Structure 1
């Protein structure tokens, strides 16, 4: 996994957890990924340094405007791709989810818009 993909995965997970629970803690992210707390702490430090999150000493994590913008973009890509794979390509939900997770990081905005327009028909 490259650095951009890793960053996007973390941001998407933080966004999903925030939507579901309101408050996100480092331990929630660790559970989601199955990673150790020190691994999550390192990743949160990098995301904070790059302006994507705020991270309190107590473990609370919040997306900044920059982080939320990127997280929503990745989440939207994931949702559209999953829907396309299921509805148009008749893939099973598990395969659709897995493949969407891989492709969401590299698909162009033009291709994503074409998929969205196709799904609206």
Structure 2
């Protein structure tokens, strides 16, 4: 299953909300994404069925290796886009973060690689 933009947001939220043991709580994901609890539990059920998370009812949520790879990919896309928007275009960090969250789901791999290379070039890395 290819993750939809919505499901990508959920795996990224699990990564972001996870504690030191790698376990996230439904309430933390709900609060981060600004959705209702049933939306989170439904998404977690679908992600679990497709091998992205493990989730026990009334228990924690943990990314599987597959889920961790997907979440890290979304996080990387977000970081590159946010950095480009702030450092190159001069967008405020808050706006860049909101826009990167929308763009991270649609940007092609080629464009992302070019942005990443460009950012390294201008930073002299």
Normalising by structure 1, we get a TM-score of 0.90
Q: Secondary structure at the match of 1:99?
A: helix
| CA distance in 2: counterparts of 1:84 and 1:113, whole angstroms | 12
Structure 2 gaps, min length 5? none
Q: Which has the higher helix share?
A: 1
Structure 1 gaps, min length 5? none
Q: Secondary structure at the match of 1:62?
A: strand
State the partner residue of 1:7.
7
Q: Secondary structure at the match of 1:86?
A: helix
How far 1:34 sits from its partner (Å)? 2.4
State the partner residue of 1:69.
69
Normalising by structure 2, we get a TM-score of 0.88
How far 1:24 sits from its partner (Å)? 0.8
State the partner residue of 1:78.
78
| CA distance in 1: counterparts of 2:6 and 2:26, whole angstroms | 16
Q: Secondary structure at the match of 1:59?
A: coil
How far 1:36 sits from its partner (Å)? 2.2
How far 1:101 sits from its partner (Å)? 0.6
Aligned length: 117
Q: Say whether 1:24 aligns with 2:3.
A: no
CA RMSD of aligned residues (A): 1.2
